[in-house]
Amino acid sequence: MKNYLIRRILQIIPVFLGILFILFFIISKAPGSITDNIMDPRMTPEMRAALQEKLDPNLPFYVKFWNWIVEALHGNFGFSNQHYKPVVDVIGANIGCTFALALTAMILSMLIGIPAGIVSATRQYSAVDNVLTVFSLAGLAFPTFFLGLLLLKVFAIDLRWFPIFGLSNATLAHAPFLTRLGDMAYHLILPAIVLGLAETASFMRYTRSSMLEVIRSDYIRTARAKGLNEKVVIYKHAFRNAMIPIVTLLGFRIPGLISGALMTETVFSLPGVGKLSVEAVNTRNYPLLLGINAMLTMTTLIATLVADVLYAVVDPRIRYD
């Protein structure tokens, strides 16, 4: 188990560095220079060049990359000129919303998707299975932004059950903490449903196919031949095995979940990383883009690592390797 984890961590490091390297390389090829945004008419080309040399000295690419990595390891991801703040602080101010959204959607989708998948598998081809299968096909086909717009139109604009945008109500800025938390949850309901729907659909689909495969296996026949009742056979013997591929899915879904969160934030105008990155693109804020990418890559890799650990927990074959 320990060896397994160490091996996985050692495998992740080169992948992480590889991704950062490619990102850094691409961004270093970006047009424009760091001084483009400084619109001071008194600035002569010489002054501009001097400033350029000071802010972004003309060094070989690999030296720049190395410097960036060293700085990043110290928690310095550069400075965002638009925000007059370090990149880390800018991301830090926005990441809470994205995480809250992604986490809520993930938990919601597991709580609904996994049991629904089991029911679907144990009653293959029944009416319930057909309804759930249609639901999951539709859930997977709905683009997050279109579903978001539809729900926004129906539930927020027409029915006025939910707020139209944002994460909090400005009039509650000085209300007690719990009130503000409740207000935030209220703002997150619709976005979480939107993001959760596609996730629920994919959990359901995977659980169903995984369960169907497990149910046909020899050890399930053994469990039945022992005289165990069907509930024990399904929820203990089959489910523990079906969980194994689902746990791997957990890791694989993270990039998709993040993409989904970015889209959802844009639709609901939530102050999260998604909105931030669209802004960063529009203002060509490359340090910020690089920081966001590095942060998301790290999140993804950590998530896959967590999935690996969970994998070892559910599968004794890995644990004892």
Partner 1 sequence: MTEMNERKPLLEVKNLKTYFHSNGNTVKAVDDVSFEVYQGETLGIVGESGCGKSITCMSLARLVETPPGKYEGGEILLEGEDMLKISDARMREIRGNKISYIFQEPMTSLNPVFRIGMQIEEVLMLHQGLSKEEAHARAIEALDMVRIPNPERIVNEYPFALSGGMRQRVMIAMALACSPKILVADEPTTALDVTIQAQVLDLMNDLKKKIDTSILFITHDLSVIAEMADRVMVMYAGKVVELADVETIFGNPLHPYTRGLISSRPDMSTSSTRLNVIPGNVPDLSDLPVGCAFQSRCGVVCDKCRQGTAELVEVEPGHFVRCFVTGGKKE
Partner 2 sequence: MTTLDRNEIIKQSAKKDSYWRGVWRRLKRNRLAIVSAIILIIIALACILVPMFSKYSVSATDVAAADSPPTAEHLLGTDNIGRDLLVRLFYGGRISLGVAISVTALECVIGIVLGAVSGFFGGIVDTIIMRISEVFMCFPFLMICITLQSIFGTSVKVLIFILSILSWPSIARIIRGQILSLREMDYMEACRALGISNFRQIFKHLFPNVLAYVIVYVTLSMASVILTETSLSFLGLGVSPPTPTWGNLIQAARNLLILKSKWWYWVPPGTMIFLSILCFNILGDGLRDAIDPKMQL
Binding mask 158-187 for partner 2 (x = CB under 8 A): ------x-----------------------
Q: How far is the CB of 204 from partner 1 (least distance, A)?
A: 22
For residue 106, the minimal CB distance to partner 1 (Å) is 24
33 near partner 2, judged by CB under 8 A: no
Q: How many beta carbons lie within 10 A of that of residue 82, not counting itself? A: 13
Instruction: Return the number of the residue (143 or 182) whose C-beta is nearest partner 2.
Output: 143
d(CA 213, CA 238): 9
Report in angstroms how near the CB of residue 227 gets to partner 2 at its nearest: 30
Q: Which residues have a Cβ under 8 Å from the Cβ of 232 and sit 6 or more positions away?
A: 223
Closest CA to 280 of 116, 37, 55, 110: 37
Question: Least distance in Å: CB of 293 to partner 2?
Answer: 5
x/- letters, 227..246, toward partner 1 (CB under 8 A): xxx-------x--xx--x--
Q: Is 7 in the site for partner 1 (CB under 8 A)?
A: no
What 3-state class would DSSP assign to 297? Answer: helix
Contact 158, 141 (CB under 8 A): no
Q: Is residue 27 part of the contact set for partner 2 (CB under 8 A)?
A: yes
Q: Is 176 in the site for partner 1 (CB under 8 A)?
A: no
Token pair of 55 as six digits: 């802010």
Instruction: Categorise residue 57: left if φ over 0, alpha if ψ from -120 to 50, beta otherwise.
Output: beta
Is residue 192 a contact point for partner 2 (CB under 8 A)?
Answer: no
Concatenate the DSSP letters of all residues of 53-87 into one string.
HHHS----HHHHHHHHHHHHHTT---EETTTTEEH
Tokens 């080169």, located at residue = 14
Residue 217 lies near partner 1 (rule: CB under 8 A): yes
What backbone torsions phi and psi does residue 174 show, to the nearest 5 degrees? -110, 15
Find the shortest distance in angstroms from Cβ 51 to partner 2.
22
Q: Which positions ≥6 away from 298 have C-beta within 8 Å?
A: 16
> What is the distance between the alpha carbons of residues 208 and 122, in angstroms, rounded to a whole number?
8
315 binds, among partner 1, partner 2, none (CB under 5 to 8 A by kind): partner 1
Q: Is 226 in the site for partner 1 (CB under 8 A)?
A: yes
Write out the residues near partner 2 by the rule CB under 8 A: 14-16, 18-19, 22-23, 26-27, 29-31, 137-138, 140-146, 149-150, 152-153, 157, 164, 255-256, 258-259, 262-263, 266-267, 277-278, 280-282, 284, 289, 292-293, 296-297, 299-301, 304
Write out the residues near partner 1 by the rule CB under 8 A: 217-219, 221-229, 237, 240-241, 244, 314-317, 320
